[in-house]
Amino acid sequence: MKSWRKDQQDLTRDIISKVDVVAFNFSLMQPNKGCYLDHLDGRFAYITLKDALSYRYRVYNYETDVLEGEYETLDALIDAGWKVST
């Protein structure tokens, strides 16, 4: 798969741009680190609430908290293979 489905991309844009409270604060995984993201290659990461509120799209690895990438726009984040975990 080269990209996520359009509905998944649209949902990602909607959740992150609106800083959806549920997506950033509800988690079955602990500790909750932010809004969880999936990558096309199977990686699992997150974007923090603080970054989303600041329109900074920095993606951190869930397990190591290492910065995986920083993107200028939501479209760049999606084009790089990320989407909101569903």
> Where in the chain are the domains?
6-84
* Predicted confidence (pLDDT) at residue 28 exceeds the cutoff of 90: no
pLDDT of 86 above 90 = no
Average pLDDT, the chain: 93
* pLDDT average, residue stretch 43-55: 95
Whole-model pTM: value is: 0.90
From the list 85, 32, 41, 43, the residue with the least C-alpha distance to 67 is 43
What CA–CA distance (Å, rounded) separates 29 from 79? 26
Q: In what order do the strands lie in the sheet with 82-84?
A: 67-71, 57-61, 44-47, 35-39, 82-84
Q: For residue 68, name the pLDDT band (cuts at 50, 70, 90).
A: very high
